Amino acid sequence: MTPTGLNTLVVDDEEGIRESLAAWLTKDGYRVATADSGEAALQCIARQIYDLYLVDIKMPGMDGIELLGRIKERQPDALVIVITAHGTVQTAVEAMKKGASDYICKPFDPEELSLIMERLAATKALRDENTALRQQLMERRDLNLEGIVAQSEAMRAIFATIEDVAPTAAPVLICGESGVGKELVAQAVHYASDRAHGPFIALNCGAQSETLLESELFGHEKGAFTGAVQARRGRLEMAGGGTLFLDEIGDIAPKMQVSLLRVLEEKKFQRVGGNQWIETDFRLVSATHRDLPQLIREGRFREDFFYRINVIRIHLPPLRDRLEDVPALADHFIGRYARETGKRILGLTQRALGMLTAYRWPGNVRELRNVIERAVVLARGQMIGAEELSFVEAGADACRLGTLTLQEMEISHLRGALETCGWNVSRAARQLDIDRGTLTRKMKRYGLQRP
């Protein structure tokens, strides 16, 4: 009966209680998040579902009893343990009547806490089927907005832009190297728009022959070409009321650009081999890793089409230019793959994190995702160490590896200074003889945080 992977939210306004409880649960294999108020807890719950809640009854603002009610409203089968201070058992009894699974008086006797948690794990085991369903739900959420990590200034600015432009119907062009998250941003645009309930239809234009691409986009009537034994709807039709995402738009031929331009202007089209006009209403989001202005100069991309699709442009910087996102992305993927493989993995060792933030990520977020997936599969313990990481370019460039080590050394030097100064940033900066702002920036960049 292991509590492996039980998602837990600890809600308490006292930092000491919150952190000690979280630490205790983590050692016992729970995945733990914390919130310092009822209101903060509700925000967490809006983003994710937890299996288990530990809730302090007495908190300023929304108290534990009210929070319990709100949790049970959304998630009637949630396991909630209320935490009380000695002498308020009366309230605890009230909480039990309202659906709490158990209560504990703080501070607890260690044996008592162990017993309650064991009992709970048993209850939880009986609900496994339920959990499986819930995890599926979480996976699905991952696919849209909830699963996007945006830690760096650059990514946050992009999300602010998305929120601004999503409600309009204007076409969006997303540029950036392969694997930076263009499709994810396209989805974010869709889900933040008033078309969110309509379909999100994606098509990669780079991977298709011209004829096939035409029929994929426009659909075809029966017998329109050899092999077209049945009439078929195209993506333009399927995207009606929703968003059409055309990836690698820089790869489509000028002739097809003309056809698409006409659809965008007239909002109607004909299937291949058909003569009926079909009306459609979709929002176009396109993406490319190519330099379109350059293609225009070379005569390979039409300027009029470019202006039509490039009304709003979002540029996604490569991962190496926003290394602050690396720790958060790594955590995000560790969480996902740990859940998928049912492994209990807490995170990265400091050295592993150092390696990740020092690498140049030619394959961007996709490469990071693959590295983490592999590491999770290989991991034998609860922490992913340097040994479990393998990079595309490892060893390919001795020169660069040299600089990596330098950066790793910087990270460990900074960490050492911070530790010596009890994580007092000003003091550490003085010791390192750099200014405070520089140190703060570096800490952010390398994900250095007070443990």
Partner 1 sequence: MTPPQDHAPSGEAARALAHLVPLGPVEDLYTEVVAANLQALMGLPSDVLPHRPLFAETFNEARRQYDAVRLIGRLAQAMPGPTLCLGLTGSDIGTPILTYVLGESQLGGRVALVSFFRLTAQGPEQTLERLAKVSLHEMGHVLGLGHCFAPMCLMRSPRNLEMIDETRPEFCNACRYEILRRVRLLDRMARGA
Ligand X SMILES: Nc1ncnc2c1ncn2[C@@H]1O[C@H](COP(=O)(O)OP(=O)(O)OP(=O)(O)O)[C@@H](O)[C@H]1O
Binding site for partner 1 (CB under 8 A): 2, 14, 16-17, 19-21, 23-24, 26-29, 106-111, 113-114, 344, 346-347, 349, 351, 380-383, 385-387, 412, 415-416, 419-420, 422, 451
Q: Is 247 an interacting residue with respect to ligand X (CB under 6 A)?
A: yes
Minimum CB distance to partner 1, residue 343 (Å): 12
Q: Which of 308, 291, 309 is nearest to 300 (CA)?
A: 291
Answer yes or no: are the C-beta atoms of 75 and 32 closer than 8 Å: no
Residue 251 carries which side chain, given as an amino acid letter?
D
Kindly identify the residues of this chain, within the stretch 290-329, that bind ligand X according to CB under 6 A.
Answer: 329
Q: Is 335 an interacting residue with respect to ligand X (CB under 6 A)?
A: no
Which of 178, 259, 407, 412 lies at the binding interface for ligand X (CB under 6 A)?
178
* Contact partner, 179, from partner 1, ligand X, none, Cβ < 5-8 Å per class: ligand X
* Contact partner, 419, from ligand X, partner 1, none, Cβ < 5-8 Å per class: partner 1
38 alpha carbon, distance to own chain's centre: 24
Q: Is 141 an interacting residue with respect to ligand X (CB under 6 A)?
A: no
Interatomic CA distance for residues 413 and 411, integer angstroms: 5
Which of 6, 244, 326, 365 lies at the binding interface for ligand X (CB under 6 A)?
365
Give every CB contact of residue 212 below 8 A, 6+ residues apart in sequence: none
Number of residues that bind ligand X (CB under 6 A): 19
* Contact partner, 147, from partner 1, ligand X, none, Cβ < 5-8 Å per class: ligand X
Contact range with ligand X by CB under 6 A, out of 304-312, 363-371, 391-399, 420-428: 363-371
Q: Is 190 an interacting residue with respect to ligand X (CB under 6 A)?
A: no
Residue 156 CB neighbours (<10 A): 11
Q: Is 67 an interacting residue with respect to ligand X (CB under 6 A)?
A: no
Answer yes or no: are the C-beta atoms of 103 and 114 closer than 8 Å: no
Q: Would you call 396 helix, strand, or coil by DSSP?
A: coil
Q: Is 106 an interacting residue with respect to ligand X (CB under 6 A)?
A: no
Nearer to partner 1, 197 or 380 (CB): 380
Interatomic CA distance for residues 12 and 357, integer angstroms: 33
Residue 215 carries which side chain, given as an amino acid letter?
S
Q: Is 182 an interacting residue with respect to ligand X (CB under 6 A)?
A: yes
Minimum CB distance to partner 1, residue 190 (Å): 39
HSE-CB for 159 with a 13 A CA cutoff: 14
Q: Which residue has the tokens 């650059």?
A: 154
Interatomic CA distance for residues 112 and 336, integer angstroms: 32
Q: Is 13 an interacting residue with respect to ligand X (CB under 6 A)?
A: no
* Contact partner, 311, from ligand X, partner 1, none, Cβ < 5-8 Å per class: none
Q: Would you call 132 helix, strand, or coil by DSSP?
A: helix
Interatomic CA distance for residues 365 and 316, integer angstroms: 11
Q: Is 373 an interacting residue with respect to ligand X (CB under 6 A)?
A: no
* Contact partner, 110, from partner 1, ligand X, none, Cβ < 5-8 Å per class: partner 1
Interatomic CA distance for residues 224 and 427, integer angstroms: 75
Minimum CB distance to ligand X, residue 375 (Å): 16
